[in-house]
Chain A
Amino acid sequence: MDDTLSVLARADAIQLKSFAETLIPDLGEIEVLQSQSGLVMLPMRDTAKGVAFHLGEVLMSEAHIRKGEVQGYGMRRGHDLEASMAMALVDLAMATDVRRADCKAFCNAQAEALQQADEDVLRRVEATRVNMETF
């Protein structure tokens, strides 16, 4: 899995939008190929027989943009076309070397925040571990 895209897909929507907005002047002319919401079907593997089956669909927002031959893409959960477009702008900026260091710093900061949030959840989960005693 691509870590940068995975981070952008879960990054804080407000921070992502405000950062992506600053990239627009540097990116220049961009062609928007797609900006829409729709459904992604999510399959799951059955652990009894190994069969993949559809669990159901998830509402997602998608943005697909292009600058010359280079593509930028964003897909995030829920209906937020601005956020998916912001993700696509950051992806395109990184792919075209536009303010790459800033993009990387943004992604690193978001990754750290997400990791911290996960760790907080897992420390709370760990508090519920059962230490069995037999007698």
Chain B
Amino acid sequence: MAYVATRGGERAIEQSERLFREEMGGFDRDRVEEVKKSLPYLIDRVMGEASLYDEDLAALALAQTGGELYEAVLLLRAWRTTQPRLQVAAPIEQDTLFTHRRISAAFKDIPGGQVLGPTLDYAHRILATDVLQGAPYAPEPVEPATNPSPAYQPSVSAWQAENDLIDPPTNDPTKGNDIPDLTREPLLFPSKRAHTLQSLARAETGGVLALGYAAMRGYGQAHPTVNELRLAEAEIAVTHPDGRQFSAGRVKVSQAEVVDKKGEKLGIGYAATFGWNEVKCIAAATLDLNSPGAEKGSATEEEFFLYHTEGVESSGFCIHFKLPHYVTFQSSLDAMRDAKAKKAGQSKSSDMEPAE
């Protein structure tokens, strides 16, 4: 790639930004609050892809960019680099998740039972056009049960391990700053598992879905069955200066396990992300399930899917193509004209009689 220093266009650039922002209009704290309240699943998606959990900041980024998701995520990723890291919390363990939804497509009678939680899985998809005619939409209220659901649900895979269906995992004791961190070190291949899962956690939802869907349709080695899907709140376990550990609050998380027959046991793929985003987790877990032994350059090969689902890098690379490439393009044209001229010269000389 070649670059050339150019001048001019300063006024056009300034006015173009003004045009974008003016067409979008002003915004204030009330707008941010409204975005936060009315679009929780979009907020979750942005927080997951930004790898930064704060509903106010995510709503602000959406308000500031008019909902241009790549710009919103970029703003948040850039902002986080200006902030100090106060601590690394203790790892979230599955059995400590305050669970709102936990289902399995693999087994009907899982320990703890199937709890649907908030979902549109079985809803009719009908656009509420009456709202546009002035009729406000008011949802039917939930009829709460007499007794609460257990806050913590047992693990489906642990139960499968007890039944010799999967190999139980051995807990890695790595913690704190020793856990590999993509925000401080490069992604190298073969990737460390901690890097793979961190990268999938912050991956762009559409990219993960596209590649995961390719694997589901047969361009992979394993067909996923959702072993367990969980929407929950996780405690942020931090440490007081005197050593006491406490929860400094909760964040919403999603987690998916998918399985497939692998020899005499089940192979298992896993993914999790900030916020409630089931599609991303199931697709990401499918990629994790398919990646062992995947063909180089295939959609399910780790290097391929990790590089191509990083939203900030991929969108940035895509949009850079609209920036001036005058020198590189001119060079291509020159090469093209040169080849054309040579070809014309060759055919002219072949038409001529040999010199005597």
Residues of A within 8 A of B (CB): 1-2, 4-6, 9-10, 36-60, 62, 64, 71, 73, 75-79, 91, 118-130, 132, 134
Contacts and interface: CB of A to CB of B under 8 A. Distances in A.
Interface in B174-193: 174-175, 179-183, 193
A48 B93 contact: no
Interface stretch (B205-213, B233-241, B307-315): B233-241
Rank and list the top 3 A-B pairs by shortest CB-CB distance, nearest first.
A50-B169, A122-B148, A5-B246
A62 B100 CA distance: 29
Among A2, A57, A120, the one with the most B-chain Cβ atoms within 10 Å of its Cβ is A57
A45 B89 CA distance: 12
A49 B54 CA distance: 29
Contacts of B50: 56
Contacts of B113: 129-130
Interface in B229-255: 234-238, 240-242, 244-251, 253, 255
Given A77-B249, A128-B115, 20 more contacts: A2-B240, A5-B246, A6-B235, A39-B52, A40-B88, A42-B251, A47-B268, A47-B270, A48-B268, A48-B269, A50-B171, A53-B195, A55-B51, A56-B47, A73-B240, A75-B238, A75-B248, A129-B113, A129-B114, A130-B116
B149 A38 contact: no
B80 interface: yes
A79 B57 CA distance: 10
Contact of B53 (A57, A62, A64): A57
B83 interface: yes
A42 B89 contact: yes
Contacts of A57: 51-53, 80, 83, 85, 183
Given A9-B248, A42-B92, A128-B115, A59 B54 contact: yes
Contacts of B83: 37-39, 57, 59
Contacts of A42: 53, 89, 92, 234, 236, 251
Contacts of B25: none
B149 A126 contact: yes
A129 B115 CA distance: 4
